[in-house]
Amino acid sequence: MSESDPRLIAAGGWDDNWDIALAWLPVTDNAQQVLTFSRPCAFDSGALVAHQDNQSVAGLQDLANKRVGVPAHSIYQQVLSGQAPSLQGEYVGGAIPSNLQVIPYNRDGNAFRDLAQGDGVTLDAALHSRWAFNATVQAEFPLKIAQKKYLPRPHWPCL
């Protein structure tokens, strides 16, 4: 058993280091070219999250001139950076303002911690999985979901 960078796993060039990977990877058309996925064992949808005092972010269209935290090297970072992959031939992005600042975080929850410091103090919003957001609710962070369903994404362990 070993831990690896998800980018390495998703690239498919394992150099005989592994035979199987159990990983949270979005099932994109590019990933399906190099990996074989099993049936879904989990389904997670993204959430656009804002501080509970925020009144200006209700959806992706409101992110112009905003600082948005995302998990580093994630599908959320790709979407907000204008590099969204396709899923079953369809673009998974949307109308993303071109002048937002995407701030990648290497650990789950760090963007939520920064967002909890206050409305617009460090971040204006975060785009992350609903699962990660629900974990922060248990930590009593003063956050809310601004857009409830964004980027539904099935995850399969790679086989």
What pLDDT is attached to residue 116? 93
pLDDT number for residue 158: 39
- The pair of structure tokens assigned to 21 is 């990977």
∠ CA 70-42-40 to the nearest 5 degrees? Answer: 120
Position 119 scores a pLDDT of: 96
* pLDDT, position 156: 40
Domain ranges across the chain: 45-154
CA angle centred on 11, ends 8 and 15, rounded to 5°: 70
Residue 138: predicted pLDDT = 64
Look up residue 37 and give its DSSP letter.
B
**Residue 39's pLDDT is what?**
67
**Residuewise pLDDT in 10s, the chain (159 residues):** 666 776 777 777 777 877 777 766 667 777 778 877 776 656 667 889 999 999 999 988 899 999 999 988 887 888 888 776 666 666 566 678 879 999 999 877 789 999 999 999 999 999 988 878 887 766 788 999 887 655 544 444 433
Annotation: CATH topology of 45-154: D-Maltodextrin-Binding Protein; domain 2 (3.40.190)
How many angstroms separate the CA atoms of 124 and 35, rounded? 36
The pTM of this model reads 0.74
In terms of residues, how long is the chain?
159
Q: What is the pLDDT of residue 157?
A: 41
